[in-house]
Amino acid sequence: MSADDPLDETDLQILDELADLWSTVDPVPEDLTLEIRFQLGVRELRAEVADLQNGLEATAPSLAGSEPLGAGAFREHAMHTDTLTFSCDRLSSMITITPHGTAPDTVRVDGWVTVPDCSIELHVLSPDRTRTAVRQQLRADPDGRFTLDEIPRGPAQLHFHHPQGPILTPYFDL
């Protein structure tokens, strides 16, 4: 048997077992194809990418009732929030993501951007991550604030329309 011989059934079985082994030991990340598409799209657009500066998770109280608070009541009535900050040479933006109180599986996004009156688009991908399921356009107010309500959870990306060219964030989870 030489290296030039065609693959036989034993070779194919060994290759299948190796593929199974590597799928278990070092699986392909779920969002790899999404990240590759993002990076290729940025290269094509020649857009500046706003880097994620930090991701803070906080727990803020959501006290719906008027009952007195005991030792565990804070945890029982707590509401999970995420705060993300994106930054590049031309702008910075901070967003806070909180669950929407009236619509299940949706969130509210409160944000601020250093460019007042900036035009912004939020893109949320479909659950299978193959297409944009939601695209919302808005404009920051004169102080740079913006709010998006009842946004479905999923991988999302912000597009800032800056006078000197587009700025995109990496994808993040809502």
The tens digit of pLDDT for each residue in 32-78 reads 877 777 777 666 555 666 777 654 444 333 333 433 433 333 334 44
Are the C-beta atoms of residues 57 and 96 closer than 8 Å to each other?
no
Q: Has residue 93 got a pLDDT over 90? A: yes
Tens digits of residue pLDDT in 54-66: 544 443 333 334 3
Tell which CATH architecture fits domain 32-173: Sandwich (2.60)
Neighbouring-strand partners of residue 109: 97, 148
Q: Has residue 131 got a pLDDT over 60? A: yes
Give the integer Cα–Cα distance in Å for 140 and 124. Answer: 19
Six-digit token pair at 173? 């989870």
Neighbouring-strand partners of residue 32: none
Q: How many CB atoms lie within 10 A of CB 158?
A: 24
Tens digits of residue pLDDT in 132-162: 788 899 999 999 999 998 899 888 999 998 8
Are the C-beta atoms of residues 120 and 145 closer than 8 Å to each other?
no
Return the domain boundaries, the chain. 32-173
What's the chain's Rg over C-alpha atoms? 22
Q: Which of 67, 113, 60 is nearest to 86 (CA)?
A: 113
pTM exceeds 0.85: no
Q: Is 156 helix (H, G, I), strand (E, B) or coil?
A: strand
